[in-house]
Structure formats: C-alpha cells, structure tokens
C-alpha cells in the first residue's frame, strides 16, 4: 500500500504496538490512578474528537481496532479516505494529549471514515499479515524464533513436547494481551532463546499464553475499539 510519506518515520515496527500502548497506559495510570476505573468501563466503538494540529489535509479520523488474529491496528485516514500515515509511532504521538484537552464536535464523516478504515484493515491483514500478523509483530517474531529453535533442537533432549505445543498454539491462536506484552519486552531486550522458551512454556501451562477457548475468540471480524477525530478549528 502506498504511503503519503509526509508524516512517516523510518521503520517503526521494532516495538510491538501493544507494548507501546501498555507503556502509555502504565505512565498515564500512574499519573492519574482514576483512569484505571474510567477507561475499562468505556464500551467498544467509543469515539471523541480533538483539535487537529497537522494542517488542513490531515483532518480526519484515527481508528483503533483488534483483528480476529489478535493483532492491534491503528489507521489514520483523512476526509477523502486517503491514508495519512501507516507509522504506528507517529499515530500514537498524534493521539497524545493532556487530560485537559477540550473535546470538539465530530466531523460529519467521522463514522464513514471509521468504516473505510475497518475495510482497509481487513484487506491489509489478508494481503500482508496472514495468521501471524505483520513481520514486526510479537506473534510473528515469537513464532519464527520458536519454530527455528524446534527445528534446530529436533531430536535433542532440550526439545520438549511442551515447547512444540506452545509453538503450535502461537501459530494458531491469538496471544493474550499480557503474554504479548511480556514476551514482546523480552524480544525487544534480546533475551536468550532458552529464557524465552521457559517463559512461553510456563505461560502456556498456566493458560496465560493464547486465547484458545471458543467463547474467548468468537469474533470473526475486526473489533472497533475506539476512534479519535482530528478537526480543524479556526
């Protein structure tokens, strides 16, 4: 997919979006503990609008959704349904604001842009991500690491059935949010493969690795979590 390039940074996929968001959540709730109750009580599809500070052409909507495979995706579209940027870090920075940021009235096409963004996410997921998600995602990197480990240790005493089963689960099911964050941090820090293997098998043993139960994974389409409009104010 073509990028507009105006706001794009160099490859920002080294840090998983969920890990970035978790750190933002941690910082925000430490500064204001009341958010721990306020935010979880909000329903999915909640939306708001803030003042746009990126020029007339960047007025639009940022949509946050979670795919059936458990991948978090942010999309920023302008009022003409063009993608402004695919840089997840840039989008997160654009969303940042203080607790005193005044809410603006939504732009007329807010919900239409969200619908277009969701359709785009579905296309992008099928075309470039597949079951493992983006090659920069924690799931993709974790599976690639463990799959390589299993092939390398085939026939040795170090390769247990638990490791094989955990690797299969990571391929077939979405990672739980906490597991995604913990393992994403380990990958980012360059932890030893043996330590990651131990952590993965321990998470699986405690049913904290993947969402496997049918009732936990009942959505076959992306879930809109929230959206933020960016409106020009004269």
Summarised one tens digit per residue, pLDDT across range 200-229 is 999 999 999 998 765 544 555 678 899 999
Q: Is the pLDDT of residue 5 over 50?
A: no
70 and 160 share a domain? no
Residues pairing with 85 in the sheet: 76
What pTM, to 2 d.p., does this model score?
Answer: 0.62
Q: What is the Cα–Cα distance from 219 to 207, expressed in whole angstroms?
A: 20
Domain tally for the chain? Answer: 2
120 and 142 share a domain? no
107 and 181 share a domain? no
- Give the residue among 82, 76, 71, 88 at the shortest CA–CA distance from 9: 88
Could you tell me where the DSSP H helices lie in 16-87? 17-31, 35-38
90 and 23 share a domain? yes
Burial class (CB in 10 A: 0-12, 13-18, 19+), 187: middle
Percent of the chain with pLDDT over 70: 81
64 and 89 share a domain? yes
* pLDDT mean over 16-31: 81
- The answer to the question of residue 31 being in a domain is yes
Residue 84: band (very low, low, confident or very high) from pLDDT cuts 50, 70, 90 = very high
- The answer to the question of residue 121 being in a domain is yes
158 and 227 share a domain? no
34 and 108 share a domain? yes
Domain span at residue 155? 138-216
Length of the chain: 234
- The answer to the question of residue 3 being in a domain is no
* pLDDT mean over 172-177: 84
116 and 194 share a domain? no
31 and 117 share a domain? yes
- The answer to the question of residue 2 being in a domain is no
- The answer to the question of residue 1 being in a domain is no
Q: What is the Cα–Cα distance from 179 to 225, expressed in whole angstroms?
A: 20
81 and 155 share a domain? no
> If you search the block for the tokens 């690795």, which residue do you land on?
209
Residues pairing with 49 in the sheet: 229
Q: What is the Cα–Cα distance from 50 to 58, expressed in whole angstroms?
A: 13
Residues pairing with 43 in the sheet: none
H or E element that contains 46:
strand 46-51
Q: Identify the three-state secondary structure at position 136.
A: coil
- The answer to the question of residue 176 being in a domain is yes
212 and 227 share a domain? no
212 and 142 share a domain? yes
H or E element that contains 113:
helix 110-124
């Amino acid at each position: 997919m073509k990028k507009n390039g105006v706001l794009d940074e160099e490859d920002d996929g080294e840090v998983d979006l969920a890990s970035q968001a978790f750190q933002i959540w941690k910082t925000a709730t430490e500064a204001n503990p009341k958010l721990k109750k306020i935010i979880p009580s909000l329903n999915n599809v909640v939306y708001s609008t803030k003042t746009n500070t990126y020029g007339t052409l960047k007025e639009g909507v940022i949509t946050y959704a979670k795919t059936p495979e458990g991948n978090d995706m942010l999309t920023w579209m302008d009022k003409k349904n063009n993608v402004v940027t695919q840089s997840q870090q840039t989008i997160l920075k654009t969303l940042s604001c203080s607790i005193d940021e005044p809410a603006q009235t939504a732009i007329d096409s807010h919900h239409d842009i969200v619908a277009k963004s969701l359709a785009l996410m579905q296309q992008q997921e099928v075309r470039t991500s597949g079951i493992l998600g983006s090659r920069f995602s924690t799931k993709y990197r974790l599976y690639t690491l463990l799959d390589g480990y299993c092939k390398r240790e085939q026939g040795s005493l170090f390769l247990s059935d638990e490791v094989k089963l955990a690797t299969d689960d990571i391929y077939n099911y979405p990672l739980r949010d906490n597991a995604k964050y913990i393992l994403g941090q380990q990958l980012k820090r360059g932890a030893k493969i043996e330590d990651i293997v131990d952590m993965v098998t321990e998470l699986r043993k405690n049913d904290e690795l993947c969402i496997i139960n049918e009732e936990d994974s009942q959505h076959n389409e992306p879930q809109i979590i929230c959206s933020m409009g960016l409106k020009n104010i004269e």
